[in-house]
Structure 1
Amino acid sequence: MRTTLNTIFSQVQGNLNRVATDINKINSQISSGRQMSKLSDNPTNLVSALGMRSTVAEIGQYQENLDHGGAMITAAESALRQIKDQVMEAKTLAISAQTPVVEGDRPLIAPQVANLLEQAVTLANTQIGGKYIFGGYRTSGYSEAEPMPFIQDKIDGYRLNGTAPTAGLPLAADELSINGIGVPASVAAGPYSADSAAAKATAINSVSDQTGVTAEVTPALVTATAPVTNGTLNAGDLVINGVDIFGAATGIADQDSDNVLIESINAQQATTGVNASRDSSGSLVLKAVDGRNIEVTTTANGEAVTHLNGAAGTNTTSGRLELLSNRTFMLESSLTGVGPVFGEPGLEAIGLNGGSTVTGEPGDTAGDGKVAALAITDLDGNVRYTGDREGVLEIKVGKVEKIAITQNGQEALKNTKVFETLQDLEDTLLGKNYTEVRSFRSVTDTGATFASGNTGLPDDAESPQVASGSFTISIMDHDHVPPESFDAIIPVDVNVDTPQSIADKISNVPGLDASWNIDGYLDITSSDSARYTFAMDADSSNFTEALGITNKDLQVHALDKSIADLSEVMEELTTRISDFGARGNRIDAQRQIFTNLDLAVQENLSDRQDTDILKAIMDLKAAENAYEAALASAARTMQVSLLDYLS
């Protein structure tokens, strides 16, 4: 078959175009540095390269996360180390305060400890990039009322303190709701009547897992209207919680100076659940040992001597309730009567009716059946934590894998009790708020009367001797805001009392426990150290001096305790510092893993997408030679064909 000129031209042109396309492709690879510019260049390699590019981007994000996490861990570890340094300095001050040389200067050291506490709170509020490192998930978003995670001199959570409600007002079922959850009826149980604070607290606490609100009791308190007057009390003249205090005629001195009235009441405490004392004026003070009511019945003669009721008859006094929650909460009562001001039986039963003057909540309106606990109450010496109490800040280092980089402030700091311990040391230096003491002198026989001389206490002329009289213990209840104090007078009769009987009398005081240890030393402790503190007051019996439990002794013991507590806090902080160090090590290890992985992926990606310049230049030179040869061949071919055509 004859080959035409057009056919030859088309073939030559196609060959030249293919070679020119190859040259252009190689030029593009050299200039861009990439082997592929579109999917058709190498579909398999391009898909693989795109996946690798995505992996490189993910690794880059994980590395940024690790850098952020590393910075947070470093800042947290540094803050904890500095707080530990503050604690060490406080311990040094406490040790120096033990020496007799500075004994009188202890109150002057207290401001230094207060300054250390303030610095510790400042460090606890450390930020990185505007984010609080100890806020848990709440790293930002604080309010004017809660400007940062740790706030000094504010209560923890939210509280409502009720007044003592009128007796005879039990809670009916669903008469009160908390956060939308109905509270069941209060029910009588044992010594607790249905209208007692204990019964109402039990009802409220039975749904606390749903409401987030718990109730605590401040025991009932009755203070006589006038000092005790001398006279004779007979059977039936004074009845407390159904117990007749005097079975026979008993003489009572003015202000009960011989403690007969107090001792007679306290002798029945196991049955009545009521402890008796006197205030500084000689007036009788009754306090329930728990959440039961105090029902006092006096005849005209009984009232003339005790002045407990103001007039002959029966009065019942209830304890008060305090409602607590970590979050704001709402109380709602059923309504009675005709508006616009309604009766609030649910709130009245817990002593929270009457509006803001009663509840302390600025927005509370009397008679609307609602109380919202929103206010953050002042409380000197306390450090409030407002951050997230459960979450732990994490960074993502994989599709599902995460690394915890911080602890929330509750776990990292509050649980170490660093703030409470520093505040306790400041209080100790100022001589207040003690929670425990052990006597400096011991006894050998806790059952011997003091008059017998067989207790084992020194009986030489230079040692103080226990005498008949009384000593006073002042107790502070910190669960009430502001804290409330009451005095307990402990009568001492050396002819009757033994070391054990005095310990029993102290244990009968609400908030205190007392016992003799195996070595014969007297231990007095707060039954709830977070709630009750105590101090010794007037002592006409020499008991506190003879045993070595005067306020001076309490301060020495408290300094020893503070030093031990500070050591424990330092150990706790060391544990947390080590934990952050371990987290930092994990960050470093993960960072190295990603660095190596990034290099490997980048290398593989380069193999698939980057141009081999040396090979490309050689390919280009070969293509150019091919192109020039094709041109020369085409020229000769076309020349011969044209001559053939013309001939």
Structure 2
Amino acid sequence: MRVTMQSIYSNILVNLNKLNTDINRVNQQISSGKQMSSISDNPVNLVNALGLRTNLSEIGQYRKNLSYGNTVITASENALVSMKDLVMRAKTLAIQQANAPLSPDNRQNAATEVKHLWEQAIILANSSVNGKYIFGGFRTTGYTPAEPAPFVQGARDGYFINGEPPAPLATSLTGTVDNSAIAAGDLAVNGTPTPVDIDPGAVINGLAMEKAANAVAALDGLDPEVSAKLTTLLHSTPFTAQTAGTGDPPQVDYDFTINGVAVNTISIIGEQSAAEQVDLFVEAINAVSGQTGVGAEAGNDANGGVTGGIVLRNLTAGDDSTIEINAFTRTEVEAGTGAVLSVAGDFADALSAAAGPANNTGEITLSSTSDPASAFTLTSPNHNDDTVFDTLGLGASAEEGTLLFGLRPLAGELLINGRPVSSQADGISTIYADASAAAKAAAINAGDYGVRAEIVPAGFTAAGPVQEGSLDPGDLVINGVEILVEQVGDLDSDNALVRAINARQEETGVVASRGENGRLILNAVDGRNLQVTTSAMGEQVTQLNNLVGQPSSQVHFGSVRLWSDQPFRLESRSEDDPAAALAALGLSAEGDDPSLLIVNTIQRDNDYVRYAGDRDNDISIKVGPQSTIEINKNGYDAVFDTGVFRILKELEDFLQGEKYTAVTGAAQAGDIHALLNSEDTGLELADRIVEGGGTFKVVIANHDSTPPSHTTTTIRVDPENDTLEDIAQRLNGINGLAATWTDTGHLRLESSDPQRYSFNLEQDTSGLLDAIGLRPDQIQASALQKSIAELEVLLNEQTNQISDFGARANRIETQNNIYMNLEVATAENLSELEDTDLIKALMEMQAKEVAYQAALSAAAKTMQLSLVNFL
């Protein structure tokens, strides 16, 4: 192959250009310090380098996050350390005030300082870094004028609403019927309509006895869980003027028994009109009605009896048992001889001939037969009004055409935050167990509604003072348990009744107390219903149901308080009665829509702190594609839940001598069952008790409302009848207060719910509080000791919190060291891929320059030969 000069010249130029390019490349590597300036230089290495650059960028951001986290942890730790110093100062003040004989002014000054400590603690809890609240959880920003910071001074924590307790209910529904017909199907019990007409009948002495009997026949057993009963009534023929008897003056004595109980002898002396005789019989029969269960009244042609006659009826509504009248004698007392003439009497004959198809009161009584008894419903399927109920004397219903008797349970009609709530029987109530406060609270607390229900137990005070008498079987039944007392003193001054009730507390779930006026106070210990059943005698003695001399059975209910850290909504989806489901909780809507209640108001109270931050999430930082580190606890866990604000505020209150939640008497007793006027109580200062007794007041503050509501109970001290245990029982029976004698012989008073109730003892004229070591200064000293103990626990908790933040700081430092080392290693790897090896590059440059010079020299010689040939 022939090589031409032109080919040689072309090769020379190509080689020189290549050398120039290489020299330029090496020169750029030396001047820039980088091996690659474009992808084409080394595509594989450049992709790897870009990945390493990304890694370095992420590592840098993570280290910035860690730096911020370290700042937050340091700020949090400093805030908690400063808060702990405040608590330490508060503890010092509490110890000074508890152990030194300081004046009230000293303690008031200390209270002022503690208030300032409380306010400073709030400021520390609202610490921020770069405008972000460090104890806000995820809610570091975004606060409003209503909630300007995570910790809001002067506001109650959370959103809450208090349900009202339902009014006491009788255990049966009773009505006096009129004499109109009710067509078949016009009345239904629990949805089952009557299959036959309820016909009227003759009106007997003003009462529609036949209609009542027909109504009972149609309704009883219509639903297996509802019974219908009549109440037995008897009446006599008219009495005549009494002129019999041979004495001077003439006298006739009547003796007989009712239901086996002897009626006091009725003596008719001289001439007595029929009306006067009726009055004597009525008075004598009613005198023993507490034992017989039978009451009497004069007939008036409208009450089932005729004018001039007498009417007897079972006092308990729905009692259809026979009234037994036996051993009737009419004795004429003959003057001078004492002779006794006995004859079978006209009174018994008259009663046995009482008119009426069923001898009833013209009333029907409906009651639940389920166990435990529950609510039942009457409806009028063919009418949209209460006409049918009116004919039975049952009155108007809450909604037209439907009459609910009993307490409505939560049956899915109530929605909390859009979710239905249904309650089940609580297992402790004897009646309406599915509608008790305990049942409703359990249903709400068991679901994921974002709302908590708190129970306010049932309780009430008797309508009148305790009367002297005895309580036999059936006279007083509390939550299904018989309370028997052989002899009850007037005003229960001997404590027999209170002792008897409290002795059955484990079975009834009810504690009893007694006020100064001798009225019983009953309170349930939990959320169960409180059912009190009394006979006529039981009601006469206890006056618990406000029906003196009348047997009755009433149920008292507790209520629930709903609380949430967020606004919540309550809805009723009942079509018949839009407000029914809300009413079941003792609530009502305030707007135009009776079925909707939105709870979104923060209640202001100067003694409280509200946490408005995020209670569920902690501040965290990203330290990897899938990894985070918590750098702080939310303020609820780290600060609020430690109780720092509550404990400091409580100490301020104690220093001011108010709002006690727990105290222990300073004096030690020996025998708490010994009478106060004996020398056996073991109290060193027993002589301080006033000989004739006296009183002191117990004031309970309920902080569920703003301002708090107060209830004052006066406790009478009777040294001749009271023991130390009697006093404790009466204190323990006050709603919101628990009282016990410790094993060491000291009286311990505690709030049954410290978040809700506080108490104070005032105006002691009995000397008892002095004797048992509960003078105002001793109460205050005891309360301060409680604060000291709580402050010690708080300090330990704060130490733990600070230690936790120290551990978090260590984790931050460890992670930062890891990233620092990783950053160095990544930078080195990137340097190997990107950076120029100057020694290697200089050597390559030198080699390229030598090659270039050689190429130029060879080209020159070639060109010289070519020129010679040309010439």
TM-score tier by shorter-chain length is 0.7 to 0.9
Is the 1:465–1:546 contact (alpha carbons within 8 Å) kept by the matching residues of 2?
A: no
Q: Does 1:318 align with 2:544?
A: no
Is the 1:467–1:542 contact (alpha carbons within 8 Å) kept by the matching residues of 2?
A: no
Q: Which residue of 2 aligns with 1:329?
A: 568
CA distance in 2, matches of 1:586, 1:155: 36
Q: Which residue of 2 aligns with 1:275?
A: 512
Q: Which residue of 2 aligns with 1:440?
A: 666
- With CA pairs under 8 Å and 6+ residues apart, which has the higher RCO, 1 or 2? 1
Is the 1:241–1:272 contact (alpha carbons within 8 Å) kept by the matching residues of 2?
A: no
1:323: how far off? Answer: 1.4
After superposing the two structures, state which structure 1 stretch, 80-89 or 595-604, moved more: 595-604
Is the 1:336–1:345 contact (alpha carbons within 8 Å) kept by the matching residues of 2?
A: no
SS of 1:62 mapped into structure 2: helix
Give unmatched runs, 5+ long, in structure 1. 357-363
The 5 Å alignment of 1:196-211 reads 199-208=436-445, 209-211=447-449
1:302: how far off? Answer: 7.2
Q: Does 1:8 align with 2:241?
A: no
The 5 Å alignment of 1:456-475 reads 456-458=682-684, 468-475=693-700
Q: Which residue of 2 aligns with 1:401?
A: 627
RMSD: 3.5
CA distance in 2, matches of 1:59, 1:103: 62
CA deviations on 1:53-95 (whole Å, 9 max, x unpaired) are 1221121111111111011101101111111111122222223
1:22: how far off? Answer: 0.3
Residue 393 of structure 1 aligns to which amino acid in structure 2? Answer: I
Q: Which residue of 1 aligns with 2:408?
A: 170
The 5 Å alignment of 1:484-523 reads 484-523=709-748
Residue 417 of structure 2 aligns to which amino acid in structure 1? Answer: N
Residue 268 of structure 1 aligns to which amino acid in structure 2? Answer: I
Is the 1:222–1:308 contact (alpha carbons within 8 Å) kept by the matching residues of 2?
A: no
CA distance in 1, matches of 2:471, 2:743: 41
Residue 443 of structure 2 aligns to which amino acid in structure 1? Answer: S
CA distance in 2, matches of 1:177, 1:261: 51
In the superposition, relative to structure 1, how do residues 555 and 10 fare at CA in structure 2: closer, same or farther (>3 Å)?
Answer: same
Give the number of aligned pairs: 622
After superposing the two structures, state which structure 1 stretch, 79-88 or 477-486, moved more: 477-486
Q: Does 1:32 align with 2:32?
A: yes
Give unmatched runs, 5+ long, in structure 2. 170-405
In the superposition, relative to structure 1, how do residues 504 and 309 fare at CA in structure 2: closer, same or farther (>3 Å)?
Answer: closer
In the superposition, relative to structure 1, how do residues 229 and 509 fare at CA in structure 2: closer, same or farther (>3 Å)?
Answer: closer
Q: Does 1:384 align with 2:610?
A: yes
Q: Which residue of 1 aligns with 2:92?
A: 92
Is the 1:135–1:408 contact (alpha carbons within 8 Å) kept by the matching residues of 2?
A: yes
CA distance in 2, matches of 1:178, 1:194: 22
Residue 592 of structure 2 aligns to which amino acid in structure 1? Answer: T
After superposing the two structures, state which structure 1 stretch, 16-25 or 570-579, moved more: 570-579
Q: Which residue of 2 aligns with 1:55?
A: 55
1:566: how far off? Answer: 1.5
Q: Which residue of 2 aligns with 1:128?
A: 129
The structure with the larger Rg is 2
Is the 2:696–2:765 contact (alpha carbons within 8 Å) kept by the matching residues of 1?
A: yes
CA distance in 1, matches of 2:478, 2:621: 62
CA distance in 2, matches of 1:589, 1:216: 46
After superposing the two structures, state which structure 1 stretch, 57-66 or 212-221, moved more: 212-221
CA deviations on 1:93-142 (whole Å, 9 max, x unpaired) are 22332321344431232222111111101110111112111112222222
1:571: how far off? Answer: 1.8
1:440: how far off? Answer: 1.1
Return the match for 1:620 from 845, 851, 867. 845
CA deviations on 1:527-561 (whole Å, 9 max, x unpaired) are 33223222112323222110101222111011122
SS of 2:763 mapped into structure 1: strand
After superposing the two structures, state which structure 1 stretch, 619-628 or 632-641, moved more: 619-628
Q: Does 1:215 align with 2:453?
A: yes
SS of 2:415 mapped into structure 1: strand
Residue 580 of structure 2 aligns to which amino acid in structure 1? Answer: P
In the superposition, relative to structure 1, how do residues 385 and 402 fare at CA in structure 2: closer, same or farther (>3 Å)?
Answer: same
Residue 90 of structure 2 aligns to which amino acid in structure 1? Answer: A
After superposing the two structures, state which structure 1 stretch, 165-174 or 446-455, moved more: 165-174
CA distance in 1, matches of 2:20, 2:48: 28
In the superposition, relative to structure 1, how do residues 305 and 370 fare at CA in structure 2: closer, same or farther (>3 Å)?
Answer: same
1:307: how far off? Answer: 10
Q: Which residue of 1 aligns with 2:41?
A: 41
After superposing the two structures, state which structure 1 stretch, 211-220 or 148-157, moved more: 211-220
SS of 2:667 mapped into structure 1: strand
Is the 1:274–1:294 contact (alpha carbons within 8 Å) kept by the matching residues of 2?
A: no
Is the 1:288–1:294 contact (alpha carbons within 8 Å) kept by the matching residues of 2?
A: no
Q: Give the TM-score normalised by the residue count of structure 2.
A: 0.65
CA distance in 2, matches of 1:552, 1:565: 20
The 5 Å alignment of 1:243-254 reads none
Return the match for 2:592 from 356, 360, 365. 365
Q: Percent identity?
A: 39
In the superposition, relative to structure 1, how do residues 155 and 263 fare at CA in structure 2: closer, same or farther (>3 Å)?
Answer: farther
In the superposition, relative to structure 1, how do residues 203 and 224 fare at CA in structure 2: closer, same or farther (>3 Å)?
Answer: closer
Is the 2:433–2:439 contact (alpha carbons within 8 Å) kept by the matching residues of 1?
A: no
Q: Which residue of 1 aligns with 2:654?
A: 428
CA deviations on 1:463-518 (whole Å, 9 max, x unpaired) are 55676344332222334555333234444332333333333333333333333333
Residue 421 of structure 1 aligns to which amino acid in structure 2? Answer: I
**Bigger helix share:** 1
Q: Give the TM-score normalised by the residue count of structure 1.
A: 0.86
CA distance in 1, matches of 2:614, 2:592: 31
CA distance in 1, matches of 2:39, 2:499: 96
After superposing the two structures, state which structure 1 stretch, 468-477 or 433-442, moved more: 468-477
CA distance in 2, matches of 1:272, 1:265: 14
Q: Which residue of 2 aligns with 1:106?
A: 107
After superposing the two structures, state which structure 1 stretch, 298-307 or 525-534, moved more: 298-307
CA distance in 2, matches of 1:631, 1:611: 28
1:618: how far off? Answer: 4.1
Is the 1:186–1:200 contact (alpha carbons within 8 Å) kept by the matching residues of 2?
A: no
Residue 139 of structure 2 aligns to which amino acid in structure 1? Answer: R
CA distance in 1, matches of 2:542, 2:674: 34
SS of 2:677 mapped into structure 1: helix
Q: Which residue of 1 aligns with 2:83?
A: 83
In the superposition, relative to structure 1, how do residues 343 and 16 fare at CA in structure 2: closer, same or farther (>3 Å)?
Answer: closer
Q: Which residue of 2 aligns with 1:361?
A: none
In the superposition, relative to structure 1, how do residues 12 and 64 fare at CA in structure 2: closer, same or farther (>3 Å)?
Answer: same
CA distance in 2, matches of 1:599, 1:334: 66
CA distance in 1, matches of 2:695, 2:787: 30
In the superposition, relative to structure 1, how do residues 471 and 246 fare at CA in structure 2: closer, same or farther (>3 Å)?
Answer: farther
Is the 1:478–1:531 contact (alpha carbons within 8 Å) kept by the matching residues of 2?
A: yes
Q: Does 1:352 align with 2:587?
A: yes
Return the match for 2:825 from 580, 588, 600. 600
SS of 1:23 mapped into structure 2: helix
Is the 1:298–1:309 contact (alpha carbons within 8 Å) kept by the matching residues of 2?
A: no
1:263: how far off? Answer: 6.7
CA distance in 1, matches of 2:549, 2:158: 44
CA distance in 2, matches of 1:481, 1:194: 31
CA distance in 2, matches of 1:57, 1:250: 89
Residue 95 of structure 1 aligns to which amino acid in structure 2? Answer: I
SS of 1:140 mapped into structure 2: coil
CA deviations on 1:345-399 (whole Å, 9 max, x unpaired) are 111122112x33xxxxxxx4352x1111111122342221122222222222233
SS of 1:441 mapped into structure 2: coil
CA distance in 2, matches of 1:154, 1:376: 7
Q: Which residue of 1 aligns with 2:153?
A: 152
Residue 524 of structure 1 aligns to which amino acid in structure 2? Answer: L
In the superposition, relative to structure 1, how do residues 216 and 466 fare at CA in structure 2: closer, same or farther (>3 Å)?
Answer: farther
CA distance in 2, matches of 1:303, 1:334: 45
CA distance in 2, matches of 1:260, 1:163: 34
CA distance in 2, matches of 1:247, 1:516: 25
Residue 206 of structure 1 aligns to which amino acid in structure 2? Answer: A
Q: Which residue of 1 aligns with 2:856?
A: 631
Q: Which residue of 2 aligns with 1:359?
A: none
